[in-house]
C-alpha cells in the first residue's frame, strides 16, 4: 500500500516537474539545485527579500536551509515562509547547526514561531536541540548520533510542531506525530561529502512539491538519498574515492526508477 503512494509521488515529479524554491546556503547550493534536476524537479534559488514572496507564489514547495544564514536571508526566510503558508505551498526546513550560535538558535525559534512547516529535517543533534534535549552541535557536525529515544523524539516533536519530522542518520527516523517509520538505506561515505543532508532536504522538497502527503514525501525523499548512496558506492572502481562518489551519487539520482526503489528500499514501521 505504501509503495502506491510513492509511485504517485514519482509520477507527479516526472509529469509536473515541480518548481522547488530554495532559500539555502551557498556551500551546497549547486548540489541542491542539481539533485532536484536529477530527480525531475525544477530548482530556483532566489533569496532576495524583494522577490521571495513573488517567487514562492509560483513554486510547488519552499525549502529553507539556515546553513549560511545572514540578516538578509533571515528576513527572506520569514517573508517567503509566511507567503507560502498563505498560499498553501508546503515548507521544508533544514535547521543546519542549530545550537552552534545564539543567532542560529534564535533564527530557528523565530521560523518555528512564525512559519507553519510541512517537514522538519535534521540530524539527531539538530532535532534533539530543537526538542530541548542535551544534543550539542559543533559547527555543522553531529556530535550526538545516538538513536536512543529517537523514535519518541520524532513522534513528540512532530505532534508539538504539527509537521513531519525526519531525523537522518545511520537509520533514518520519520514521524508525522502518529506513525514512525525507519529507513535503513545509505552508506557511510555519504557522511564524507559535504551537503548530503542539504541535498536530502531538497529531495524531500521535490517529493512534497507534488502536493501529496508530506509524510510519504519525507519518507520517499530520504530513502532515495540512502539508496543512491548505496548505488554510488557500489559503482566505484578501485582507487576511486570521495570525489568520484559525489559524481556517481548524482548519476544514481538521475537514473533512479521505481523498480529500483521497490527492490532496494528498506523502509519499515517502527
The reply, when asked if residue 45 is annotated as ligand binding, is yes
Domains and CATH numbers, the chain: 2-269 (3.40.1190.20)
Q: Which residues pair with 61 in a beta bridge?
A: 20
195 annotated among ligand-binding-site residues: yes
Q: Angle CA(14)–CA(208)–CA(78) in degrees, nearest 5?
A: 130
pLDDT in tens, 13-64: 999 999 999 999 999 999 999 999 999 999 999 999 999 999 999 999 999 9
CA 222/CA 172 separation, integer angstroms: 8
Average pLDDT on 199-227 reads 98
pTM of the model as a whole: 0.94
| Strand, helix or coil for residue 42 | strand
Cα 179 to chain centroid, rounded? 19
- Report the pLDDT averaged over residues 101-123: 97
Residues 207 and 211: their CA atoms lie apart, in Å, by 8
**Alpha-carbon torsion (203, 205, 210, 214), positive or negative:** positive
Residue 222 has a CB neighbour count (10 Å cut-off) of 28
153-176: pLDDT as tens digits: 999 999 999 999 999 999 999 999
- Secondary structure of 222-257 as H, E, C letters: HHHHHHHHHHHHHCCCCCCCHHHHHHHHHHHHHCCC
Amino acid at each position: 500500500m505504501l509503495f502506491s503512494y510513492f509511485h504517485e509521488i514519482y509520477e507527479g515529479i516526472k509529469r509536473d516537474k515541480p518548481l522547488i524554491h530554495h532559500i539555502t546556503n551557498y556551500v551546497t547550493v549547486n548540489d541542491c539545485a542539481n539533485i532536484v534536476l536529477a530527480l525531475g524537479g525544477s530548482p530556483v534559488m532566489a533569496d532576495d527579500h524583494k522577490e521571495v514572496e513573488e517567487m514562492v507564489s509560483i513554486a510547488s514547495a519552499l525549502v529553507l536551509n539556515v546553513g549560511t544564514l545572514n540578516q538578509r536571508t533571515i528576513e527572506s526566510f520569514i517573508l517567503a515562509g509566511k507567503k507560502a503558508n498563505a498560499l498553501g505551498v508546503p515548507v521544508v526546513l533544514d535547521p543546519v547547526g542549530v545550537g552552534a550560535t545564539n543567532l542560529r538558535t534564535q533564527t530557528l525559534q523565530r521560523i518555528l514561531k512564525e512559519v507553519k512547516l510541512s517537514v522538519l529535517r535534521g540530524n539527531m543533534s539538530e532535532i534533539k536541540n530543537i526538542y530541548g534535549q542535551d544534543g550539542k552541535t559543533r559547527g555543522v557536525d553531529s556530535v550526538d548520533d545516538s538513536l536512543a529515544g529517537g523514535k519518541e523524539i520524532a513522534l513528540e516533536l512532530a505532534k508539538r510542531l504539527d509537521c513531519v519530522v525526519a531525523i537522518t542518520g545511520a537509520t533514518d527516523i520519520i514521524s508525522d506525530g502518529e506513525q514512525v517509520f525507519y529507513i535503513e538505506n545509505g552508506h557511510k561515505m555519504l557522511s564524507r561529502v559535504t551537503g548530503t543532508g542539504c541535498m536530502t532536504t531538497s529531495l524531500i522538497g521535490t517529493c512534497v512539491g507534488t502536493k501529496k502527503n508530506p509524510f510519504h514525501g519525507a519518507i520517499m525523499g530520504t530513502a532515495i538519498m540512502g539508496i543512491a548512496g548505496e548505488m554510488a558506492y557500489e559503482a566505484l572502481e578501485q582507487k576511486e574515492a570521495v570525489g568520484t562518489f559525489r559524481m556517481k551519487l548524482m548519476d544514481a539520482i538521475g537514473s533512479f526508477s521505481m523498480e529500483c526503489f521497490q527492490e532496494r528500499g528498506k523502509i519499515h514501521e517502527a
